[in-house]
Amino acid sequence: MPKIKPSKGAPYARILGVGGYRPTRVVPNEVILETIDSSDEWIRSRSGIETRHWANDEETVAAMSLEASGKAIADAGITAAQIGAVVVSTVSHFKQTPAVATEIAYKLGTAKAAAFDISAGCAGFGYGLTLAKGMIVEGSAEYVLVIGVERLSDLTDLEDRATAFLFGDGAGAVVVGPAQEPAIGPTVWGSEGDKSETIKQTVPWTDYREGEVEKFPAITQEGQAVFRWAVFEMAKVAQQALDAAGITSDELDVFIPHQANERIIDSMVKTLKLPETVTVARDVRTTGNTSAASIPLAMERLLATGEAKSGDTALVIGFGAGLVYAATVVTLP
């Protein structure tokens, strides 16, 4: 039998550029309090969230993605025509098919790039980053655009006291390209499907379509169960990612966890025993929980404000509905 030729990819991959887009409308806690019995102090103490961004009619999943992607491509110093694949992580694109990635690839001006969506909730960016790394090393693409984007305001029940204040909208994107030395570490990822009921859509679309329920489907969660899982289990996964990359906490410059809840972030920092010299992303305060978009949005803000710099070593970890998770160590663009 003939032998298949080995792939001719790059030896390694790295993040070359990052971009973000936050909707123009800023929503303070006072707006949330119009529909739930709570207080600004309670929301801040439980989550750290002060404001979030909600999209208007024009700020669609595709439109926000295009804005973030354009910035990431410019930051990477390449052209859209050089993008060989577009990977979009989202749970809030309401067309089952075609994938929104195909629209984005076309409107950006890529040369018929491979394009597909993935559904991995708040771990979606990490999943996409891992797929991009594989494509580049394998040789099926030289540059890959990874997008995390959500319009979670469309899936928020404003009368649900447990979740109404949590979610925001936005898009974050990175360009992943070839590198001559390791810049994206091994990914520690997985799922715990036995806990899938702790974060879920309230009812399937079919129930709504067939009139069995009148309320539009929304995202709900068992707050305490999710909190315990994230604090105790995800700190272990984060440590495994450090170990896999051969990095100690003392060698880390930046920590970018999924921006779900500031109390979870604080607990993970304590459990990991991160030194005070490590910059910790706290974008959740003004952006809320944007699921798949939260890590690239937080990364973009840290670099834009100078709290992190190019070449820094960062630990990123996403976790959420599924329950799924993904953690890795990266060199910042």
Residues annotated as catalytic (active site), given as ranges? 122, 258, 289
Residue 191: strand, helix, or coil: strand
Residue 313, φ and ψ in degrees, nearest 5 = -95, 120
Burial of residue 316 (CB within 10 Å: 0-12, 13-18, 19+) is buried
DSSP, residue by residue, 59-106: --HHHHHHHHHHHHHHHHT--GGGEEEEEEE-S----SSS-HHHHHHH
Q: 189 has which bridge partners?
A: 326
CB under 8 Å to 55, separation ≥6 — which residues? 23, 25, 64, 151, 153, 169
CB 237 within 8 A of CB 296: no
184 C-beta neighbours (distance < 10 Å), count: 23
> What pairing do the DSSP bridges indicate for beta strands 199-201 and 114-118?
unpaired
Question: Which residue, among 183, 214, 204, 158, has the nearest Cα to 311 in the 3D structure?
Answer: 183
CB under 8 Å to 322, separation ≥6 — which residues? 120, 121, 123, 191, 192, 193, 196, 199
Q: How far apart are CA 251 and CA 274, in angstroms?
A: 10
Question: Which residue, among 211, 195, 192, 299, has the nearest Cα to 256 in the 3D structure?
Answer: 299
- The single residue listed with the structure tokens 């036995």 is 194
Q: 179 has which bridge partners?
A: 12
